[in-house]
Structure 1
Amino acid sequence: MRLDDVLPEWHFRERHSIEIDAYADTVFRAVEEVTWREVPVFRALMALRFLGRDPAVDPRIIASMTRDGFVVLDRLDNELVVGTVTTPAFRVADRLRGALLADLPCEAFAKFDAPGHLKIGFNFLRRGSTVSTETRVWATDERARRLFRAYWTVIRPPSGLIRRVWLRAIRERAENEPVFL
C-alpha cells in the first residue's frame, strides 16, 4: 500500500524532492542504508530530542527508527512507506506496536482511530529520476491536533532541513554505488 492509501488525509504535511541518477533498486538500497553519520544534522536534532542520549544504536537511520517505534508499512518497487502511531507526548503503546507489527501492518495503521493519538507516516517515492520524501501527520482528535500543532510550529523548519540533507545523502550513496555489468 502507498502512503496515499494508508494516510490519505492529514493535518500536517511536508514534502521534499531531489533528482537522482540511479536505478530504482540502487536508490532504495541507499534509502535503507544511509547512516546517521551521513545526515549529521538529523543525529544532532534527535540527540536534543532524546536529551543528549545518542539515538543511533543502529547506524542506519531506517533501521534505528524501526527499533524505536516506527514500522515499515510497505515496500513497493518505487515506494517505501514507514509509519507509527503515537501520542502527542510521543509514547508508543506496546499493544499498538504489536498491532502494527502484525501480518497486516498497513491495514492496522490505516484503520487506527483511537482518540488522543497521532498517525505519522512518511515515504520515499521514486518517479522517473525524481525521488521525494513526504511526511504526513493525522491527529485522531482536536486535542491531539492542538498539541501537535505547537510542536510542528517549532520542528517544521529543522525537519525540512533534515529531509533535504537526508535526500542528498541518498543521492550521494546511490550515484556513487559501483555498477557491475
Structure 2
Amino acid sequence: MHDPSLGSSLIESQLPRYEQRILRTQVVRASAPTTFAAIRRVDFFRSPAVALPNRARIAIDTLRGRRGAHIQRSRSEFRFDQLLEPDGGFHLLAEEPGHAMVLGFIGRWWEKGYGRVEWSPADFGRFALPGYGIGAWGFTVLTYDAHTSVLVTEVRVHGTDDKARRSFRGYWTVVGPFVKAMGGPVLRLIRDEAESL
C-alpha cells in the first residue's frame, strides 16, 4: 500500500512544504490502540537493516569524537523514546494518543556533526535559518476493524533555502536508499510487536 492520501493530517500541519517524502504502510493484525502502543515498545535494533547503518553511524561519530557518542556506543538496543533523549536529535512535535505522532529534526546532516542547532518544538514551524534541513517523521495508525489496523510512517524533509536543498540532494543521493530501505523493516518490527500481544 502506497496511497499518498494515507499520510496523517498531523504531519501536514507540522511540515506542509517539503522536497523529499517517504511513505510506507503495513497491515497489522492487532487493534489500533495495541499497534500504536507497540511503536514505543519495539527495539529497532532487532532488525539488521536498521541496526547496521545506525551502528556504522555511531562508530563514525565515535571516531570523530562527537559529543554523546560514548553514550550511544554501548547500546545493545534502541527504542523510540531514545530518539527524544538530549543526544537523540529529535523532539516530539505533536501527538494524538492512540492515533498519530510526529517527531521533528533540524540540522545540516550533510556536514560533520550533522550541523545540529538548538531548537524547541515551539520553534519548528517558524525555523528559517539559512542552510538548514527541517524534517518530520510521523506514525499514524488507522482502524480497519476491531482486530486489524493499518500502520503508516511518513518522512518529510524541507530545506530552508536553495543552498540547503542542493546540499541535501547530494547527501540524499548517498543516504536516501538506506533510509528508504529501513522503512519496511521498522514497520514490520512494530507489526510483530503488536501481533505478539
- Common topology (TM > 0.5): yes
Q: 2:135 aligns with which of 120, 124, 145?
A: 120
Match of 1:87 in 2: 108
- Cα 1:10–1:43 shift into 2, 3 Å: same
CA contact (8 A) 2:106 2:133 kept: yes
CA contact (8 A) 1:46 1:55 kept: no
Q: Structure 2: where are the runs of 5+ without partners?
A: 1-8, 63-71, 144-148
Q: Structure 1: where are the runs of 5+ without partners?
A: none
CA contact (8 A) 1:57 1:64 kept: no
Distance 1:42 1:25 in 2: 25
Match of 2:82 in 1: 64
Q: 2:158 aligns with which of 138, 145, 152?
A: 138
- Cα 1:172–1:55 shift into 2, 3 Å: farther
Relative to the length of structure 1, the TM-score reads 0.84
Say yes or no: does 1:34 pair with 2:52. Answer: no
Return the offset for 1:80.
Answer: 1.3
CA contact (8 A) 2:44 2:77 kept: yes
CA contact (8 A) 1:33 1:60 kept: no
Match of 1:161 in 2: 181
Distance 1:116 1:42 in 2: 28
- Superposed CA deviations along residues 15-56 of structure 1, whole A, max 9, x for unmatched, are 111101212221121111111332222121012223355567
Distance 1:81 1:56 in 2: 27
Distance 2:153 2:15 in 1: 14
Task: Give the partner amino acid of 2:38.
Answer: A
Q: Would you identify which runs of 4 or more consecutive aligned residues in structure 1 move more than 4 Å?
A: 52-56
Match of 1:9, SS? coil
Match of 2:4 in 1: none
Distance 1:55 1:39 in 2: 18
